[in-house]
């Protein structure tokens, strides 16, 4: 009986020493965890636009500001916009970075049934997206962070294929008081 007890003691002492290197080797050879989607730097480029904003059109000042609430959704993969004016006009957009195409995209739809499909990227510190509207005009919209935490949204249209541009909206976004 003594030899059996001795063998068990030896195995009890040696087993962790023998198994530990193999366990460490198995951990080292395991594939690294997959990166979380939408965490690359490109997905954070438009984060300056996140928040709740008072929006004033610098072309046609109004006594009341519009409200725009911009949130990151779907784990940071989508920027969702909810725009509301004091006169009842509303619009929504989904913006996202398309990693396969290395481009930003925005789909906009408003309360009048008008849609815009815009694509583009960052140029000189601003996100610049463009696309053709249903009426054939070109639309170019840019978002630029400004000093003091403000944002400018400049919307331009062209009816001659981009030779000349007319400013349709020059929005100044100021953080809304909560």
The reply to whether 46 and 10 lie within a common domain is: no
Say if residue 170 is in the same domain as residue 85. Answer: yes
Regarding whether 26 and 47 lie in a shared domain, the answer is no
Domain shared by 24 and 45, yes or no? no
Residue tagged 């290395």 (tokens): 102
**Whether residue 26 is found in the same domain as residue 47:** no
**In the prediction, which pLDDT does 90 show?**
98
Strand 103-110 relative to strand 51-57: parallel, antiparallel, unpaired? unpaired
Does residue 63 share a domain with residue 110? Answer: yes
Residue 36 lies in a domain: no
Residue 131 resides in a domain: yes
What is the per-residue burial (b if ≥16 Cβ within 10 Å, else e) of 146-175? eeeeebebbbbbbeeeeeeeeeeeebbbee
Residue 2: predicted pLDDT: 54
What is the CB neighbour count within 10 angstroms for residue 101?
Answer: 10
Into how many domains does the chain fold?
A: 2
CATH number of the domain within which 153 lies: 2.40.128.20
66 and 16 inside one domain:
no
pLDDT value for 3: 55
In a domain, 9, yes or no: yes
Q: Determine if the pTM surpasses 0.85.
A: no
Residue 35 inside a domain? The answer is no
The pLDDT of residue 11 is 46
- 126 in a domain, yes or no? yes
Q: Quick one: pLDDT at residue 28?
A: 66
pLDDT of the residue at 30: 81
**pLDDT on residue 177:** 77
Containing structural domain, residue 99: 41-175
Residuewise pLDDT in 10s, the chain (178 residues): 555 545 544 445 444 444 455 544 455 678 888 778 899 999 999 999 999 999 999 998 888 999 999 999 999 999 999 999 999 999 999 999 999 999 999 999 999 999 999 999 999 999 999 999 999 999 999 999 999 999 999 999 999 999 999 999 999 999 997 5
In a domain, 108, yes or no: yes
8 with 64, same domain? no
pLDDT for the residue numbered 175: 96
Residue 10's H or E segment, with its range, is helix 2-29
Do 68 and 21 sit in the same domain of this protein? no
> Tokens 């070109």 correspond to what residue?
138
What is residue 162's predicted lDDT score, i.e. its pLDDT? 94
| Count of beta carbons in the 10 Å neighbourhood of residue 45 | 14
Can you list the positions of beta strands (E) in 99-165?
103-110, 115-123, 126-132, 138-145, 151-158
Tell me, yes or no, whether 112 and 145 share the same domain.
yes
131 three-class SS: strand
Residues 102 and 143 in one domain: yes
Tell me, yes or no, whether 138 and 51 share the same domain. yes
Q: Is residue 53 part of a domain?
A: yes
How far is it, in rounded angstroms, from Cα 173 to Cα 143?
10
* pLDDT the model gives residue 96: 98
149 found inside a domain: yes
Report pLDDT digits (tens) over 104-121: 999 999 999 999 999 999
């Amino acid at each position: 009986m003594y030899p059996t007890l001795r063998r068990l003691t030896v195995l009890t002492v040696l087993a962790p020493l023998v198994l530990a290197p193999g366990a460490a080797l198995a951990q080292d050879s395991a594939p690294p965890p997959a990166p979380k989607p939408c965490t690359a730097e490109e997905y954070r480029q438009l984060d300056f636009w996140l928040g709740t904003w008072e929006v004033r059109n610098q072309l046609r000042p109004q006594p009341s500001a519009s409200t725009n609430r911009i949130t990151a959704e779907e784990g940071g993969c989508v920027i969702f916009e909810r725009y509301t004016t004091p006169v009842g006009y509303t619009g929504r957009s989904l913006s996202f970075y398309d990693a396969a195409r290395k481009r930003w995209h925005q789909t906009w739809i408003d309360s009048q049934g008008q849609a815009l499909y815009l694509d583009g990227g960052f140029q000189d510190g601003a996100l610049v997206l463009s696309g053709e509207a249903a009426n054939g005009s070109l639309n170019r919209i840019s978002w630029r962070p400004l000093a003091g935490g403000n944002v400018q949204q400049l919307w331009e249209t062209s009816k001659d294929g981009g030779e000349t541009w007319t400013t349709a909206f020059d929005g100044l976004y100021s953080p809304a008081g909560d």
